[in-house]
Amino acid sequence: MNYLIDRFGRKITYIRFSVTPRCNFNCIYCSSHISEEAKSKEFGKEDIAFLFRIVSGLGIEKVRITGGEPLLRKDIIDIVQSASINKNINEIVLTTNGSLLRQFAQSLKDVELTRVNISLDTLRREVFEKITQRDFFEKVMDGISASINVGLTPLKINTVLMKGINEEDIIPIAELSLKYPVIVRFIELMPVGNNSFWKDHYMSFKKALEIIKRKYELSIGTGTKGEVADYYKIVGSEGKIGFITPVSQHFCKTCNRIRITATGKIYPCLFSKEYVDIWDVVKTKREDEVIKLIKKSVEIKPAAHGAIEKDDKQFIKNMKELGG
Ligand code: SAM
């Protein structure tokens, strides 16, 4: 196998593919800005299938399909299937806001999607509307139960921690892991677009952990291979609680991923300003050139991103194009 190994000896086995920057939510922490280029072009399903085939020959084992909202793509089932037919790709995960999951859950399972991650930052309807600027709370809850029912499990729930907005949700969301076999992951807020929202609302995972520990005894749990979260279990619970800590304790040393956008840019790091453009070579199906450029993106992967808390230049320009 022609593996992808960067200058620091990290083996790249995981691709995050943002299949569209379009989204039916307008979350307050995610940038609403989409570049003119991203509004006018998007890889077709054949381009994406071509790329999945190539990366599976380069040692990629895990694919995450993200966005924007990936379920807005009419051809999403074909896209997932085009990943699952590659035998080296053994984990295909979709990250979604859940609002369209009920209608897609069974078909996604049928084409061998491994599981879904659902973003849910609150269990309070009115706070949900404030965060997402949409009245889709019931649809998301419905999507969660549909994906559990068809077996898109273990289901992971991603909750962005926001001081002054959803602290009261930390306990109820953590308690989901007590009642159901779900994995709840609290994510530290990252600066997107401009830093002002982040400065006002960032809270470290330690604060959330403290809040949970005040009410529950926690034991240390384990994650699956290559995961970015630290895991705990409320004693006696079915599920788990994880913390993803890109700000207070970055996990760059073990980073095994690159990101591809729907406009053909490969970003070696979520905070990279540098990228490699593969649009033309994918569109003209020049396989050798595509491989060369993928390798180049791995060569320029930085050792680590800078310290977010200390450096105003460390922010993500456009989350929806990059896919988180
Ligand atoms: N639409 C899908 C969804 O809602 O999950 C996929 C795209 S979304 C950009 C992917 C992930 O990025 C979500 O879990 C979301 O919560 C997370 N995210 C977006 N902005 C963030 C921020 N400023 N800080 C931390 N996580 C963020």
Within 10 Å of residue 307's Cβ, how many Cβ atoms?
11
Please work out whether the CB of residue 95 comes within 6 Å of at least one atom of ligand 1: yes
Pocket test for ligand 1, best of 69, 160, 163 (most atoms within 8 A of CB): 160
Decide if pLDDT at 317 tops 90.
no
Mean pLDDT of the chain: 94
Cβ of 318 less than 6 Å from ligand 1: no
Between CA 319 and CA 274 the distance in angstroms is 15
Pairing state of beta strands 240-244 and 183-188? parallel
Ligand 1 site, residue 65, Cβ cutoff 6 A:
no
The residue contributing the CA closest to ligand 1 atom 11 is: 324
Among candidates 132, 127, 130, which has minimal Cα distance to 118? 132
pLDDT of residue 119 exceeding 90:
yes
Q: Which one of 19, 30, 100 would you pick to mutate in the ligand 1 pocket, going by the greatest count of ligand atoms within 8 A of its CB?
A: 30
CA separation (Å) from 262 to 42, 199, 268, 283, 321? 5, 30, 15, 12, 7
pLDDT: which is higher, 196 or 242: 242
Does 23 contact ligand 1 (Cβ within 6 A)?
yes
Tell me how crowded residue 120 is: count the other CB atoms within 10 A of its CB: 23
pLDDT, tens digit (0-9, with 9 covering 90-100), for 248-266:
988 899 999 999 999 999 9
* 186 CB near ligand 1 (under 6 Å): no
d(CA 307, CA 283): 37
Q: How confident is the model over 181-207, as pLDDT tens digits?
A: 999 999 999 999 877 899 999 999 999
pLDDT in tens, 55-79: 999 999 999 999 999 999 999 999 9
Asked whether the predicted pLDDT for residue 312 surpasses 80, the reply is: no
d(CA 109, CA 216): 35
Of 260, 289, 262, nearest to 272 (Cα)? 260
> How far is 70 from 76, CA to CA, in rounded Å?
7
- What CA–CA distance (Å, rounded) separates 118 from 297? 29
Q: Where are any strands of DSSP class E within the chain?
A: 14-18, 62-66, 91-96, 115-119, 156-161, 183-188, 218-220, 230-234, 240-244, 257-260, 265-267, 276-277
pLDDT above 90 covers a percentage of the chain that reads: 86
pLDDT tens, position by position, 223-233: 665 567 789 99
The ligand 1 atom at the shortest distance from the C-alpha of residue 66 is 6
Cβ–ligand 1 distance for 56 under 6 Å, the answer no
Per the DSSP assignment, residues forming a β-bridge with 161 are 188
- According to DSSP, residue 70 is labeled G
Alpha-carbon radius of gyration of the chain = 19
Phi then psi dihedrals of residue 257, to 5 deg: -130, 155
Mean pLDDT (whole number) for 90-113:
98
Residue 1 Cα distances to 13, 74, 113, angstroms: 12, 34, 24
Percent helix, strand and coil across the chain, each to the nearest 5:
35, 20, 45
Q: Which residue has a Cα nearest atom 10 of ligand 1?
A: 324
Alpha carbon of 56 to ligand 1 centroid (Å): 26
Both structure tokens of 77: 């089932």
Bridge partners, 239 (sequence order): none
CA of 30 to the centre of ligand 1 (A): 7
Does position 221 have pLDDT exceeding 80, yes or no?
no
Q: Evaluate: CB of 158 within 6 angstroms of ligand 1.
A: yes
Residue 280 has pLDDT above 70, yes or no: yes
Is the minimum distance from the CB of 30 to ligand 1 under 6 angstroms?
yes
With a 6 Å cutoff on the Cβ, whether 268 touches ligand 1 is no
319 lines ligand 1 (CB under 6 A): yes
Q: Is the confidence at residue 132, as pLDDT, over 70?
A: yes
Asked if 1 contacts 57 with a C-beta cutoff of 8 angstroms, the reply is yes
**List of domains in the chain:** 4-322 (3.20.20.70)
Alpha carbon of 324 to ligand 1 centroid (Å):
5
Q: State the distance from the centre of ligand 1 to the C-alpha of 291, rounded, in angstroms.
A: 29
